[in-house]
Amino acid sequence: MTHTRYHDVVLLLLRLMFGLSMAYAHGWPKLQRLTGGEEVKFLDFLGLGPEISLGLAVFAELFCALLLAVGLFTRLAALPLIITMFVAVFVAHWGDPYSDMEGGLLFLVPYVCILLAGPGWYSIDAQIRKSA
C-alpha cells in the first residue's frame, strides 16, 4: 500500500469512527428527544428557541455525521459538526471542568482535520469525482 493509500485509510477510519459515533451516541438520542413529545430543554444559543436549536443539533449530529461517515458532501457536512462542537465546548461547557469539555474537543479536532484534509479516496465524494 502506498503512502497515499495509508492516508486514505486513515481518513476513512476517522470518518467512520467519528461520524458513526456521533450519529449513534448523540444524534439519534437527540432526535428521539426532539420527537418525543415532551417539553424541549436545550441551549438556545442563537435565540431561536430550544426546539429549533435542538433541531439544528440533530441535523449536525445525526444527518451530517452520517454524510461524513459515508464521505458524501464531506467538507460541507463537517462544517455544521464543527460549529456544533465549538458551541458545545466554548459556550455550553465553557467554565466547566475540563472533563466536561473533553468529549466535545475529542470530536471537534477530527472534524477540523477532515475538513482540511478532505474525505480521501474511500468516499462517495472521490468516486463521484473519479467518474466525472
Parse the chain into domains and list their residue ranges.
3-131
Rounded Cα distance between 122 and 110, Å, is: 17
Within the chain, strands assigned E span none
Residue 4: per-residue pLDDT:
83
pTM greater than the 0.75 cutoff: yes
Which residues make Cβ contacts (< 8 Å) with residue 15, sequence separation at least 6? Answer: 68, 69, 70, 71, 74, 114, 119, 120, 123
At residue 45, the pLDDT reads 87
- For the chain, 132 residues long, the average pLDDT of each consecutive 10-residue run is 85 98 98 93 92 97 98 98 97 94 97 97 95 80
CA–CA gap between residue 28 and residue 13 (Å, rounded):
21
47, with CB counted inside 10 A (0-12, 13-18, 19+), is exposed
